[in-house]
Structure 1
Amino acid sequence: MEAHSVPSIVRSVGHNGSQAILDSMALTQEEQRDIQNATIGQRVNPQWHLFRRGRVTASNFGDVLLSNDVTAIVDRLLSNQPYTGGIPALDWGIENEHQAVQAFTTATQKEVQESGLWLSPSGVLGASPDGLVGSSEILEVKCPYNAREMTIDDAVKQKKISYISKEGDTYSLRRDHKYWHQVQGQLHLTGRQTCYFVVWTKKDHVIIPISRDDTWKPNLKSCHSPEPEEEPHTMEAHSVPKIIEYVNRQWSQAILARMVLSQEEQRAIQEATIGQCANPLWHLFRRGRVTASIFGDVLMSKVVTDDLPDRVLGNQPPTERNQAMKWGIDNECTAIQAFTTATQKEVQKSGLWLSASGVLGASPDGLVGSSEILEVKCPYNAREMTIDDALKKDEEKKDDDKKLIPYISKKGDTYSLGTEHKYWHQVQGQIHLTGRQTCYFVVWTKKDHVIIPISRDDTWKPNLKVLEDFFKTCVLPRLREM
């Protein structure tokens, strides 16, 4: 999901367009498997729509390889709108796909498993076969609307089905039709050997086994490389330079438009990323976005240095967990349990909450009821102290960097989070992006803990625009240097 889904376009258009695409969208085998598993269900699964968006999928391979004008194809790739019905031929295919699959199963006695979206290692290409058969075969179904009341034989004779032909008793898929490229693309991206191409009508069906054609493979390169090393098999390699030229002309608007999320997509991402750092999808969706953990760094910086955009783009090498970070991670559950025991409030796990623009994100440590969140801090240097003792020691220190708990203070019996500290911006960002009213800010040590309720501050809200402007003015220009 981040450099691998919506934000992938963020790094796809620098001075070297194609190289930026390959660098930013590349996927490991584990990530490819995670995405395939996460998108099972296809059109009824919101994640499938998210991961398909902006990629060249097998249903478009034939259009790309056979067309002399790719403008319409590019517009489809940049579109945020999934198909919602209204075209009789498409609706017919969707409604009857299950019956066609059942006809295949009955005829062959082969079990069909559901498939998700299979992405190429480059992350640019994708394929969603209608089913998986065993470990080396796939299924692709067509339900021709204009031939729905006919036998296949009659439909072929009357040219109601243009993509298959019959010689003797044998049907075959025409190699000059776009469905040939769809099927071959599916075979190559899934790494499988055979596709059962099923054509179904109410009166009849045929099953055409299609083997993988390795001479077709160079066409994969033509779908995402502006300068193929070799000419694709029987096809022109003309499409990608036009795509990159088109996107580069309107690069910033295309980036921002593609990152916009519907409320349904926001909810789907939040649910899909529960588990946070233990969930690969959380890492995918965070990458390339400005998240609440750096809101304070951005808002409090007098000068924006390269490290802030680099942290957003994931250009910095991973930082090894120091003792303080490890302590916080190891004891977060204990701190949450302390909160639950003290308040009798149930804490639910949270995923990543994204803004409608798709640019900003927040991952609170927990959700409390329908209007509250939880954020936990476990200060390592005060781990063996009570909160009061740590704050008393801090009174003797002028430099915040040397304080044990520099972000809270106590007046009378009341603890408060400093509004000048970056954690204040983190908390307010979390509250605003989750649409909730209160954050319970928990500071925990082995000897003590305090719970500070922090209300939503609507005067902070304009900072969201400041943070989005940071992305537009400081992150996007950095892409041109990549």
Structure 2
Amino acid sequence: RKVFSFLYLSAMHWIVSEEPPVPKLDVPSVEDLLLTQEYTSTTDKLQWLKIKLAITKEQIQQVAQLTAGQRNNHLWAMVRKNRLTASNFGPVLAAIRRNRFPPSLFKQILSSYDLSTKDAILWGITNKSVAREQYCSFGDAVVTETGVWLHESGVLGASPDGIIHRAATYNYSHQDPEVAELLEAIGLRPEIMEVKCPFSARNLTIQAAITSCKEIQTHNGKASYRLKQDHHYYDQVQGQLHILNKSACDFVVWTTKDIAIVRILQDAMWTPNMEKLDDFYFSKLLPIIQQ
């Protein structure tokens, strides 16, 4: 009877005990700001929003830590909501160049399309950890998961697939082979990782996949790979490098048969796109969010 009473009291204590505190994100929600009385009553709404959405370096670090795990972390989706993230930089920049902004673009950005059940999306989500593990076998590399990194404007963000603490030391190509020796000499190392697991090439070697794999190409016909600069993935990688303020990224393409690693430097020629993306957010995307 005493044992039963002890177990009963222990169970009751577990049931009525307080839930552990949920980490609080110290960043403003775009939606919440738009619903405040202060926003509705202010004269210069755009300027007010820009001030309220801007964040500090400390807030940027906190968000990245609390959203680690990406899709497995509910805070990750909360932070991304109503913000423009690097995976959509390519389509947005293409729309800016064409000066055409179809409804499908805004649906894609604001996640009105549910892609979570698509075979290609599921394949990528499932196998990114496998690709990271294989990458780490090339010279005892060390990579950890990370979360959403926001730009100081508070409206642009990026979620790389890993932070590289010790990079792969072999089996990689340089995006710019001409400067490879110089980079090796000065010891420049990649600090972030982006992984792609193309569903269409899942059972092919990288060399065999070149014809069907739109994002990657050989360099001068040799088995040295480059990310095509006119592909949306290049904009995604550059967006990550600029938002996180990192020098280089290892872009990883993984299949069940092979892996390719392309070391990509931050591109100064791409930098003006950050201002274009910021302008797109406030002039084109924000009015859609307000609706």
TM-score (norm: length of structure 1)? 0.48
Which of 35, 41, 56 lines up with 1:246 in the alignment?
41
Q: Which residue of 1 aligns with 2:268?
A: 458
Q: In 2, Cα distance between the equivalents of 1:376 and 1:462?
A: 25
Q: Which residue of 2 aligns with 1:307?
A: 104
Q: In structure 2, do the counterparts of structure 1 residues 52 and 278 end up closer, same or farther at CA, with 3 Å as the change threshold?
A: closer
Q: Which residue of 1 aligns with 2:216?
A: 408
Structure 2: which 5+ residue stretches go unaligned?
A: 1-17, 167-189
What percentage of residue pairs aligned between the two structures are identical? 33
- The answer to whether structure 1 residue 417 and structure 2 residue 227 are counterparts is yes
- The answer to whether structure 1 residue 427 and structure 2 residue 237 are counterparts is yes
Deviations 1:281-326 (A, max 9, x none): 1100001111000000011122111232344444x14334211111
Q: Which residue of 1 aligns with 2:72?
A: 278
Q: Secondary structure at the match of 2:138?
A: helix
Q: In 1, Cα distance between the equivalents of 2:205 and 2:140?
A: 22
Q: In 1, Cα distance between the equivalents of 2:253 and 2:29?
A: 42
- Is the 1:309–1:474 contact (alpha carbons within 8 Å) kept by the matching residues of 2? no
Cα displacement (A) at 1:245:
4.2
Q: Which residue of 1 aligns with 2:253?
A: 443
Amino acid in structure 1 at the alignment position of 2:205? T
Which of 331, 355, 358 lines up with 2:127 in the alignment?
331
Amino acid in structure 2 at the alignment position of 1:341? S
User: Looking at CA atoms only, which structure, 1 or 2, has the larger radius of gyration?
Assistant: 1
Q: In 1, Cα distance between the equivalents of 2:65 and 2:288?
A: 31
Q: Which residue of 2 aligns with 1:50?
A: 27
Q: Secondary structure at the match of 1:369?
A: strand
Q: How many residues align?
A: 246
Higher RCO, Cα 8 Å, sep 6+: 2
Q: In 1, Cα distance between the equivalents of 2:262 and 2:286?
A: 37
Following superposition of structure 1 onto structure 2, how do residues 210-359 of structure 1 map, counting pairs within 5 Å?
A: 243=38, 245-247=40-42, 249-301=43-95, 302=98, 303-314=100-111, 316-359=112-155
Q: Which residue of 1 aligns with 2:195?
A: 376
Q: Which residue of 1 aligns with 2:178?
A: none
Q: Secondary structure at the match of 2:214?
A: coil
Q: In structure 2, do the counterparts of structure 1 residues 304 and 37 end up closer, same or farther at CA, with 3 Å as the change threshold?
A: same
- Is the 1:274–1:349 contact (alpha carbons within 8 Å) kept by the matching residues of 2? yes
Q: In structure 2, do the counterparts of structure 1 residues 354 and 414 end up closer, same or farther at CA, with 3 Å as the change threshold?
A: same
Which of 23, 28, 34 lines up with 1:38 in the alignment?
23
Q: Secondary structure at the match of 1:271?
A: helix
Q: Secondary structure at the match of 1:38?
A: coil
Following superposition of structure 1 onto structure 2, how do residues 461-480 of structure 1 map, counting pairs within 5 Å?
A: 461-479=271-289
Q: In 2, Cα distance between the equivalents of 1:53 and 1:382?
A: 39
TM-score (norm: length of structure 2)? 0.77
Cα displacement (A) at 1:51:
5.9
Q: Secondary structure at the match of 1:432?
A: helix
Q: In 2, Cα distance between the equivalents of 1:434 and 1:34?
A: 34
Q: In 2, Cα distance between the equivalents of 1:53 and 1:425?
A: 24
Give the root-mean-square deviation of aligned CA atoms: 2.7
Structure 1: which 5+ residue stretches go unaligned?
A: 1-32, 40-46, 56-77, 79-122, 125-223, 225-239, 395-403
